[in-house]
Structure 1
Amino acid sequence: MVPESARPNAFASFAAVIALTLVVTWLNARRGRSASDFYTAGGGISEGKNGLAIAGDYLSAAAFLGVSGLIGLYGFDGILYLVGFFAAFIPVLMLVAEPCRNLGRFTFGDVLAYRHDFRVSKSLAALSSVIVAVSYMVPQIVGGAVLLYALLGVPYEMSVLVVGALMLVYVTFGGMRATTWVQIIKAFLLLSMCGLLAILALAPFGFNVTTLLEAVAHRPGLREWLLTIQSSPVDTKALITQSFFEPGLYLKDPIELLSLGLALVLGTAAMPHIMMRFFSVKNAQTARRSVLWGMLWIGGCHLLIIVIGFAAAYYVGPAKIAAADKGGNLAALLLAQHLGGGSMSVWGNVLVGVVAAIAFATIVAVVAGLTLAAASSLAHDVYVGAIKGGVASDREQVVAAKVASILVAIIATSAALLAKGQNVAHLVGLAFAVAASANLPALLATLYWKRCNTRGVTFGVVGGVVMTILFVLVSPNMQYPLTTRANATKALADANAHLAQLDAAGGSGGIRRDDVSRQRVAALAAQAAAQATLDSVGSRTTSIVGLENPLIPLHNPAIISVPFGFLLLIIGSLSGRGRESDPAWRALVFRRDSGIGVATALDH
Structure 2
Amino acid sequence: MKRDACSRLLPRIAACTATLLFPALAPAAEVVPHAYRLHAFSVFAAVIAFTLIVTWFSARRGKSASEFYTAGGGISGLKNGLAIAGDYLSAAAFLGVSGLIALYGYDGMLYLVGFFAALIPVLLLVAEPCRNLGRYTFGDVLAYRHSFKTSKMLAAFSSVIIAIFYMIPQIVGGAVLLYALLGVPYEVSVLAVGVLMLLYVTFGGMRATTWVQIIKAALLLSMCGLLAMLSVAPFGFNVSTLLDTLSHQPALRDWLLALHRLPADDNTLISRTFFEPGLYLKDPVELLSLGLALTLGTAAMPHILMRLFSVKNAQTARQSVLWAMLWIGGCHLLIIVIGFAAAYYVGAAGISSADKGGNLAALLLAQHLGGGASTTGGNILLGAVAAIAFATIVAVVAGLTLAAASSLAHDVYVGVLKGGNASDHEQVRAGKVASVLVAFIATGAGLFAKGQNVAHLVGLAYAVAASANLPALLATLYWKRCNTVGVIAGVVGGSLVAIALVLVSPNMQYPLAVRAEATRALAASSTRLAALEAEGAIRYTGPGDFSAARDAARTSRDAAQSTLDAIGSRTTSLVGLRAPLVSLRNPGIVSVPLGFLFVVIGSLLGRRRGSGTGWKALVYRRDSGVGVAHAVDH
Deviations along 1:270-304, one digit per CA (max 9) or x if unpaired, are: 00001100000011111011001000000000001
Listed as ranges, the matches of 1:136-151 within 5 Å are 136-151=166-181
1:338 aligns with 2:372: no
Q: Using the alignment, how far apart are the partners of 2:346 and 2:434 within structure 1?
A: 45
Which of 305, 312, 315 aligns to 1:282? It is 312
Task: Name the counterpart of 2:81.
Answer: 51
Task: Name the counterpart of 2:474.
Answer: 444
**1:161–1:504: structure 2 CA closer, same or farther, 3 Å change rule?**
closer
Aligned-partner SS, 2:372: coil
Which of 399, 405, 428 aligns to 2:429? It is 399
Q: Using the alignment, how far apart are the partners of 1:171 and 1:507 within structure 2?
A: 55
Q: Using the alignment, how far apart are the partners of 1:234 and 1:502 within structure 2?
A: 25
1:173 aligns with 2:181: no
- Bigger Cα displacement from structure 2, 53-62 vs 23-32: 23-32
1:153 aligns with 2:183: yes
Q: Tell me if structure 2 keeps the 8 A contact 1:505–1:511.
A: no
Q: Using the alignment, how far apart are the partners of 2:515 and 2:276 within structure 1?
A: 32
- Bigger Cα displacement from structure 2, 270-279 vs 150-159: 150-159
Task: Name the counterpart of 2:110.
Answer: 80
Which of 476, 480, 486 aligns to 1:456? It is 486
Listed as ranges, the matches of 1:483-498 within 5 Å are 483-493=513-523
Which of 107, 110, 115 aligns to 2:145? It is 115
Name the aligned partner's letter for residue 149 of structure 1: Y
Question: How far 1:447 moved relative to its partner?
Answer: 0.6
Question: How far 1:364 moved relative to its partner?
Answer: 0.6
Listed as ranges, the matches of 1:236-315 within 5 Å are 236-315=266-345
Question: How far 1:401 moved relative to its partner?
Answer: 1.0
1:576 aligns with 2:606: yes
1:352 aligns with 2:403: no
Aligned-partner SS, 1:349: helix
Q: Tell me if structure 2 keeps the 8 A contact 1:488–1:533.
A: yes
Listed as ranges, the matches of 1:9-88 within 5 Å are 9-88=39-118
Deviations along 1:35-72, one digit per CA (max 9) or x if unpaired, are: 11111111100000000000000000111111111111
Task: Name the counterpart of 2:121.
Answer: 91
Q: Using the alignment, how far apart are the partners of 1:122 and 1:603 within structure 2?
A: 19
Question: How far 1:382 moved relative to its partner?
Answer: 0.4
Question: How far 1:505 moved relative to its partner?
Answer: 10
Task: Name the counterpart of 2:500.
Answer: 470
**1:240–1:499: structure 2 CA closer, same or farther, 3 Å change rule?**
farther
Task: Name the counterpart of 1:187.
Answer: 217
Question: How far 1:484 moved relative to its partner?
Answer: 2.7
Q: Using the alignment, how far apart are the partners of 2:383 and 2:366 within structure 1?
A: 9
Q: CA RMSD in A?
A: 2.4
Task: Name the counterpart of 2:569.
Answer: 539
Question: How far 1:105 moved relative to its partner?
Answer: 1.2
- Bigger Cα displacement from structure 2, 423-432 vs 243-252: 423-432
Name the aligned partner's letter for residue 203 of structure 1: A
Question: How far 1:471 moved relative to its partner?
Answer: 0.9
- Bigger Cα displacement from structure 2, 356-365 vs 461-470: 461-470
1:431 aligns with 2:461: yes
**1:552–1:389: structure 2 CA closer, same or farther, 3 Å change rule?**
same
Q: Using the alignment, how far apart are the partners of 1:140 and 1:424 within structure 2?
A: 7
1:594 aligns with 2:605: no
- Bigger Cα displacement from structure 2, 232-241 vs 256-265: 232-241
Q: Using the alignment, how far apart are the partners of 1:252 and 1:506 within structure 2?
A: 41
Q: Tell me if structure 2 keeps the 8 A contact 1:225–1:319.
A: yes
Percent identity between matched residues is 75
- Aligned pair count? 604
Question: How far 1:115 moved relative to its partner?
Answer: 0.4
Is there any run of 5+ residues in structure 1 with no aligned partner, and where?
A: none
1:561 aligns with 2:591: yes
Question: How far 1:155 moved relative to its partner?
Answer: 3.3
Q: Tell me if structure 2 keeps the 8 A contact 1:194–1:304.
A: yes
Aligned-partner SS, 1:175: helix
Q: Tell me if structure 2 keeps the 8 A contact 1:506–1:513.
A: no
1:375 aligns with 2:405: yes
Question: How far 1:422 moved relative to its partner?
Answer: 6.8
Question: How far 1:510 moved relative to its partner?
Answer: 11
Q: Tell me if structure 1 keeps the 8 A contact 2:96–2:357.
A: yes
TM-score, structure 1 normalization: 0.95
Q: Using the alignment, how far apart are the partners of 1:344 and 1:494 within structure 2?
A: 29
Aligned-partner SS, 2:628: coil
Q: Tell me if structure 2 keeps the 8 A contact 1:390–1:603.
A: no
Q: Using the alignment, how far apart are the partners of 1:74 and 1:515 within structure 2?
A: 26
Task: Name the counterpart of 2:18.
Answer: none
Q: Using the alignment, how far apart are the partners of 1:509 and 1:4 within structure 2?
A: 30
Q: Using the alignment, how far apart are the partners of 1:342 and 1:597 within structure 2?
A: 60
Question: How far 1:415 moved relative to its partner?
Answer: 2.9
Deviations along 1:383-409, one digit per CA (max 9) or x if unpaired, are: 011111111122211111111112212
Q: Using the alignment, how far apart are the partners of 1:177 and 1:193 within structure 2?
A: 24
Q: Using the alignment, how far apart are the partners of 2:254 and 2:518 within structure 1?
A: 21
Q: Tell me if structure 1 keeps the 8 A contact 2:70–2:136.
A: yes
Deviations along 1:241-268, one digit per CA (max 9) or x if unpaired, are: 1111111111111111111111111111
Q: Using the alignment, how far apart are the partners of 1:508 and 1:279 within structure 2?
A: 68
Aligned-partner SS, 2:209: helix
Task: Name the counterpart of 2:233.
Answer: 203
Q: Tell me if structure 2 keeps the 8 A contact 1:442–1:460.
A: yes
Task: Name the counterpart of 1:100.
Answer: 130
Q: Using the alignment, how far apart are the partners of 1:311 and 1:55 within structure 2?
A: 23
1:8 aligns with 2:31: no
**1:266–1:364: structure 2 CA closer, same or farther, 3 Å change rule?**
same
1:222 aligns with 2:257: no
Question: How far 1:156 moved relative to its partner?
Answer: 3.1
Aligned-partner SS, 2:268: helix
Task: Name the counterpart of 1:480.
Answer: 510
Q: Using the alignment, how far apart are the partners of 1:514 and 1:399 within structure 2?
A: 59
Question: How far 1:335 moved relative to its partner?
Answer: 0.7
Q: Tell me if structure 2 keeps the 8 A contact 1:70–1:309.
A: yes
Question: How far 1:195 moved relative to its partner?
Answer: 0.6
- Bigger Cα displacement from structure 2, 461-470 vs 538-547: 538-547
Name the aligned partner's letter for residue 176 of structure 2: V
Question: How far 1:419 moved relative to its partner?
Answer: 4.7
Q: Tell me if structure 2 keeps the 8 A contact 1:460–1:568.
A: yes
Aligned-partner SS, 1:514: coil
Name the aligned partner's letter for residue 385 of structure 2: V
**1:503–1:75: structure 2 CA closer, same or farther, 3 Å change rule?**
farther
Name the aligned partner's letter for residue 584 of structure 1: G
- Bigger Cα displacement from structure 2, 488-497 vs 395-404: 488-497
Aligned-partner SS, 2:571: coil
Aligned-partner SS, 1:599: helix
Q: Using the alignment, how far apart are the partners of 1:126 and 1:175 within structure 2?
A: 18
TM-score, structure 2 normalization: 0.90
Q: Using the alignment, how far apart are the partners of 1:32 and 1:504 within structure 2?
A: 66
Name the aligned partner's letter for residue 377 of structure 1: S
**1:525–1:84: structure 2 CA closer, same or farther, 3 Å change rule?**
farther
Deviations along 1:158-209, one digit per CA (max 9) or x if unpaired, are: 3222211111111111111110000000000000000111111111111000
- Bigger Cα displacement from structure 2, 377-386 vs 144-153: 144-153
Q: Using the alignment, how far apart are the partners of 1:245 and 1:419 within structure 2?
A: 31
- Bigger Cα displacement from structure 2, 277-286 vs 468-477: 468-477
Name the aligned partner's letter for residue 341 of structure 1: G
Deviations along 1:571-595, one digit per CA (max 9) or x if unpaired, are: 1111012353110001111111111
